[in-house]
Amino acid sequence: MKKSLMAAVSAGVAIAMLAGCSTSNNGGAGNEAATNGGNAGSGEKVTLNVFQFKVEIADAMNRLKADYEKENPNVTLNIETMGGGADYGAGLKAKFASGQEPDIFNNGGNADLTTWMDKLEDLSGEAWQSDVIDTAKEGITRDGKNYGLPMGIEGYGLLYNKDLFAQAGIDTPPKTLTELKAAVEKLKAANITPFANGYQEWWILGNHTFNVALANQDDPAAFIQSMNEQKGDLASNKVVGEWFNLFDLMIQNSNKNPLTTDYNTQVTLFASGKAAMMQQGNWTQVQIDGITPDMNVGILPMPINDSEKSGNIFVGVPNYWVVNKNSKNKEAAKDFLNWLATSETGKRYTVEEFKFIPALKSVEVTDEKVLGAIANEIMTFSQDGKTSGWYFNQMPEGLPQEVGAEMQAYVAGKSSKEQMLTNIQNKWSNFAK
């Protein structure tokens, strides 16, 4: 996986937010807002409050904290992690409302950029900007100004246990809906649970599963715009109708009690071999490795029909590092982002510790074992042009949570397809207003 392959990834990237975590972790020395000014190179003592949402890198962020403070002895990093299950967006708003504003935080771009625009420092002049792949800039750029450093690139689809597939006699990875249905039947015949579903988490449904219906539209951005303008219609949309083929297949062939299965339990079920597939992405690699090292895992599309486009996986930027423009420590915050983007230590953490597919042109990944099997296959899908984007972040702020709730009601049997789509349509109209 070398630099030339990274160019292939960039061609398939659409910008979006991934909330891929739950629970929280505090890696710092408290939540109080920093009062010291200065920057990392000035010699003044500085405390940088970092509020980030990816639980799966929380331990690595604590290791990064030690290394950064060693290289910058005048800086203390106070890192707090709050996962998607705990609603990072609500937690961030609470921080600002209480006066405990972080110096550095995460932003998903697009609709999230609009929400936080008046709090973000313009980072257009930072030296690392020229190193960011072009498509990774789009979601965090407004009126010619760029406001964030992409964490990395991520992809998701159906992760699958290759050994369990072989055990069930599935020789060829399914790419179409017909092939996926056949694989499910073979797994059931071998007494293997086809899907581990973590439907307690709204984001698994409201972001990632619903995105399949958006990304398969002929023009996803135009469709979302039509919905925002209250001109589009979910119930009569052919792609949305076909999307239920996949959604129902996953519901009907699930682990027990998916609505009380959280993210960590879902990953544990899959990584311990108790289910053959789960809808997730390469951010789960570290946790999978911790449960079953060297697990024989790959990634499949999430097909809604037998068309070629339905054989794509979904690739995007999960989030950006941004700087609070009102921070007394914003120069030190910029120094930290510069270190993360340009120093050998910072680059090593992004790739080797966080296991992110890098969004920087200069970062080569020469050892395929570094990122793990899932990321390697995502790179191959990207190289082959078999990726679609993340579009859920173009929906009105707060709507994906509501979509997730409506989908949970459908999974529980408390709502029909027609009622679910009607409720989402009405909520979309209200949020768009």
> pLDDT tens-digit profile of 262-277?
999 999 999 999 999 9
Residue 86: per-residue pLDDT: 59
Write down the pTM of the prediction. 0.82
Model confidence over 400-413: pLDDT tens digits? 999 999 999 999 99
Residue 366: per-residue pLDDT: 78
Q: How far is CA 363 from the centre of its chain?
A: 20
Residue 340: per-residue pLDDT: 97
Has residue 34 got a pLDDT over 90? no
Distances (CA, A) of 261 to 42, 156, 254, 267, 281: 49, 19, 11, 10, 17
- For 76-90, 97-111, 123-137, 224-238, which range has the lowest pLDDT when averaged over its residues? 76-90
> Residue 264: which of 245, 243, 280, 252 has the closest Cα?
280
Has residue 1 got a pLDDT over 80? no
Structure tokens, 94: 């609470």
Q: Do the two domains 3-152+318-364 and 156-315+392-432 of this chain adopt the same fold?
A: yes
Model confidence over 367-388: pLDDT tens digits? 878 899 999 999 999 889 999 9
Domain residue spans of the chain: 3-152+318-364, 156-315+392-432
Fold of the domain spanning 3-152+318-364 = D-Maltodextrin-Binding Protein; domain 2 (3.40.190)
**pLDDT-based confidence at 85, cuts 50/70/90?**
low
**pLDDT-based confidence at 42, cuts 50/70/90?**
low
Options 2.40.50.100, 3.40.50.10190, 3.40.50.2000, 3.40.190.10; which CATH number does 156-315+392-432 get? 3.40.190.10
**pLDDT-based confidence at 41, cuts 50/70/90?**
low
**pLDDT-based confidence at 84, cuts 50/70/90?**
low
Residue 29: per-residue pLDDT: 32
Sign of the CA dihedral with 354 first, then 357, 362, and 363 last: positive
SS3 labels along the chain: CCHHHHHHHHHCCEECCCCCCCCEEECCCCCCCCCCCCCCCCCCCEEEEEEECCHHHHHHHHHHHHHHHHHCCCEEEEEEEECHHHCHHHHHHHHHHCCCCCCEEEECCCHHHHHHHHHECCCCCCHHHHHECHHHCHHHEECCEECCEECCEEEEEEEEEHHHHHHCCCCCCCCCHHHHHHHHHHHHHCCCCCECCCCCCHHHHHHHHHHHHHHCCCCHHHHHHHHHCCCCCCCCCHHHHHHHHHHHHHHHCECCCHHHCCHHHHHHHHHCCCCCEEEEEHHHHHHHHHHCCCCCEEEECCCCCCCCHHHCEEEEECCEEEEECCCCCHHHHHHHHHHHHHCHHHHHHHHHHCCCECCECCCCCCCHHHHCHHHHHHHHHHHCCCEECCCHHHCCCCHHHHHHHHHHHHHCCCCCHHHHHHHHHHHHHHHHC
Model confidence over 277-336: pLDDT tens digits? 999 999 999 899 999 999 999 999 999 999 999 999 999 998 999 999 999 999 999 999
The residue written with tokens 């709090």 in the block is 119
Sign of the CA dihedral with 123 first, then 127, 130, and 131 last: negative
Percent of residues, the chain, with pLDDT higher than 70: 89
Residue 360: per-residue pLDDT: 93
CA atoms of 200 and 197, how far apart (whole Å): 9
**pLDDT-based confidence at 27, cuts 50/70/90?**
very low
- Mean pLDDT, rounded, for 109-120: 94
Model confidence over 143-164: pLDDT tens digits? 999 999 999 999 999 999 999 9
